[in-house]
Each structure stands twice: as structure tokens, then as C-alpha cells.
Amino acid sequence: MLITAHTKIETFINLTVILRNRMNGMIIIYRAEGKKTSVQLSRALHGYKDYSNKGKYFYKRKGLLNKILYIQLMRGVFIIKKEDKEKFISLLERYKISYHVREIILTPQDTKDLKEE
């Protein structure tokens, strides 16, 4: 009986160590209402080409996603680092987009994808 209790404590300690070594991230889920808001948000997130002088010149305007590391799971669902949460949320609030944010424990592959190279 004592050995079983010791094994459970040891397992709990090992599990705690594994969880502490994992990186936490944020999952952000949003939905834009209306075409105009959707296009404005898309340009702010992904960037766009700005043409001038009847298309003779163009400038690449960078979006937020060009500046931070992210994983896009599907339309409107992103996994980002905890440090970038405020930037992303402030952008969503600027365009009055409804969103949900949750903290998640990243898998080793997600952690690798979110690390700078």
C-alpha cells in the first residue's frame, strides 16, 4: 500500500515537471461581421499592396501577422505566443470584432513552430 502511494506521488511529480517545461500559448477565435469590417481586419492582419500613380508604383504594407509568429488552424482561429496577445486583441478591439481568448498548453510541435529561427 505504501509503495502504491509513493508511485502516485512520483507520477504526479513527473507530470508536474513535464507540464512546467511546456510553453503556454493563447488561442484566439474571432468572427468579423459584415464585408467592410472583414476586409479591414484582413488587411490589418495580413497586410496588403498599396498602389499609387495609376499602378505605376506599389508598396507592401505589412500586417500584424508579418510581425509575430502564429499558427492558423482555420479561418478566424489563431494560436499565438502569450507575449503577443495584447497586440492581437487591441487590433480586434479597434475594429469592434467579437472574440474569445483562452490560454492553452502547446504541444512540442506548436512550441517548435512558434520559436524564432
The reply to whether 91 falls in a domain is yes
Whether 52 is in a domain gets the answer yes
- CA atoms of 68 and 114, how far apart (whole Å): 9
Task: For residues 49-67, give the mean pLDDT.
Answer: 89
Check residues 38 and 22 and name the one with the higher pLDDT: 38
In a domain, 3, yes or no: no
Q: Mean of the per-residue pLDDT values for the chain?
A: 83
CATH label of the domain that carries residue 105: 3.30.70
What is the β-pairing status of strands 98-105 and 77-81? Answer: unpaired
Q: Is position 34 within any domain?
A: yes
84, part of any domain: yes
Eight-class DSSP state of 106: P
User: Tens digits of per-residue pLDDT, 16-36?
Assistant: 445 555 678 999 999 999 999
Q: What's this model's pTM, rounded to 2 decimal places? A: 0.74
Identify whether 47 is part of a domain: yes
Q: What one-letter code names the amino acid at 103?
A: E
Whole-number pLDDT of residue 116: 65
Grid cell, residue 116, equals 524564432
Is 28 part of any domain?
yes
State the residue range of the domain holding 71.
23-114
Evaluate whether residue 109 is within a structural domain. Answer: yes
Q: What is the pLDDT of residues 74-83, one digit of tens each?
A: 999 999 999 9
At residue 110, the pLDDT reads 87
Looking at the predicted structure, is the pLDDT value of residue 3 above 50?
Answer: no
State the total domains in the chain.
Answer: 1
